[in-house]
Structure 1
Amino acid sequence: MNVRRLIPTAALTAAAALGATALTACSGTAGPAAAEDGKLHVTASFYPLQYLAEQIGGGHVKVDTLTKPGVEPHDLEITPKQTGRLAESDVIFYLKTLQPAVDKAVEQSGVKNVVDAATLTKLEAHSAGGHEKHEGHEGEGHAAEGEGAGHAAEAEGHDHAHGEAGEDPHVWLDPAKYAEIAKGFGAVLEKADPDHAADYRKNTAELTAKLGALDTEFKDGLKNTASRTFITTHSAFGYLAERYGLDQEGISGVDPEAEPSPARMKELQAVAKKDNVTTVFFETLASDKTAKSLARDTGLTTDVLDPLEGITDKSQGADYFEVMRSNLKNLQKALGSK
């Protein structure tokens, strides 16, 4: 059985200090870009952060993103032109370690107001093989954080690390953690643009309330299911699985392009049979070849579970909330929601 592994206390302390630094750095007047049109210019590294910036900033901000629709964020390469435009930002909002090219560009930008989303919540380690049974899940909802109901990154041979501590960056797929990031970024905008602080505060409260409602929808919708195990090509759903007492079994690790070993494929076939798995999930921005191969070998169906790293015309929804509700519907169907 896997044991939940949290980032060491020292690392958390350092992260908190970084978060405080980010907030402090954003105090005072905005940079030269804001002077041009009166708006705070925010550059977000990819869709989930872009969405938060747009929702919280409203009409007071102009938001650009480094990762265009249809581009797999993990594979993003930054051009010199993009790096140049990045330097003109008033605020940069990114998630360190998710996109190495972005990390490098941010370092070179010289922008003072830089916000790392990873400092606004607590990152944990998950793995492709995060399988664990959840006794007594009927009627229990999601397990409380810190009580060992999670999935740690100790599965042998399946730990695909991100960052120095091997932390999983996909925090936005847990509505509660996403809300924590929203609150932190809202505070950043209040300090960066105090003239509109009341509006940022109002927008943040409205967004976090919607995220709280979404959390309740997932909790209630996944409370009673025939199975608690789901198989997905991209191990991006560790936080979601932990929040709602599910078992994520990833074909690959947190990198969607990683090739699974024959041993891992055989293991997944056994898991599917043992836990009455009906569906192998794939995503919209990466190849579905491996998912379909496993489904064919095991007699399972396939469906979409979107890690929400970008919105395209193939997405099952036009924004974060619509796609998350599509994910919930697809999980309920696959798990046999009662």
Structure 2
Amino acid sequence: MSKSVNFIKTENRPFCKWFSVVVLPLVTLLCAGMVSCNEEKSYEKEMYKKVFYLLSGNDHTYTETYSLNKEESVRYFSIGCGGSLSSSDAVTITLEPDVVLLESYNKSNFDIDYGAYAKLLPASRYEISSYIVNFPANSADQYVKVPVKVRPLGLSPDTIYFIPIAIKSVTKYEVNPEKYNVLYRVTIENDYAEQKTLTYYTRNGTIKNQTTGEESALTGNKIMQPLTSDKVRIFAGNIAQSQTSTVDDIEKNAIVLQINSDHSVSFSQYGTIEVEALSKPNFNRYSVEKDLRGKDEHYFYLYYQYRTEVTPVIGDTPATYSPWSEITETLKKVETN
């Protein structure tokens, strides 16, 4: 039996060599080609598949900024269509208010911190002219823009405002189940600060306790937030504001700067703080100046005094306050682009 096996191996070695060198590679190539063709057909099918979706980030939000310089203005969100080729047919897309995303967003981001919860933008503040959108046939673009008119005056920089929107139906093709809804966020800005990204100003100056006469340096950064076209809010003196500052912190420590038409600056209280302008040449003004490269730099030159409430009014007992602090400071906007 052993001999027989040895004989076969010896006598057929040329055939085996030819088979392994010629036939096996051909069979392998043929199989690979069949697999490749199947994969290519599957890829092409997916590649040309028409799927509609609402453009958003990973958290299903999309943000647009509205200027407080205008009573109302228009920004857009987008409806996209997947696939490498445009649709040969026009498609009608029906939108509706979304009812699930806002609650999910709040629970995910703030848990039981209910005071930080995002809110619905009041219906009186915005207008979407039609919730029925036509996606044209053979469009050069793979998306259409839907206009959203917003009246931003009076919106708070401390609140997250959303317009929740969802795709209700399409007359043809499919809707991406992971991207069928969006939280359209409305933020505000003016010429001095914006809400979307916190605006910082570097601070240089002094703080003087008017009771003791003690004086110290003011350095670091200060957050500035937009209120109206000509008003911004900052924390007074050396009081630090952060992204975690509470409503009570703001009510106690914030002051309002009003930039007048002649670029002079007026002061007013935001909450319980008391603030008064002081007089010094070339202070209490806003200025745009050129740096050595000819680029605009934005400055506030401020001279004022403030005191914070220690105890509120109780019956006939008046409120008590901290000693007056005298502030001399120059704020320079930190440019982000």
Q: TM-score of the superposition, structure 2-length normalised?
A: 0.24
Q: Answer 1 or 2: which has greater helix percent.
A: 1
Q: Which has the higher contact order (CA 8 A, sep 6+)?
A: 1
Q: Answer 1 or 2: which has greater strand percent.
A: 2
Q: TM-score of the superposition, structure 1-length normalised?
A: 0.24
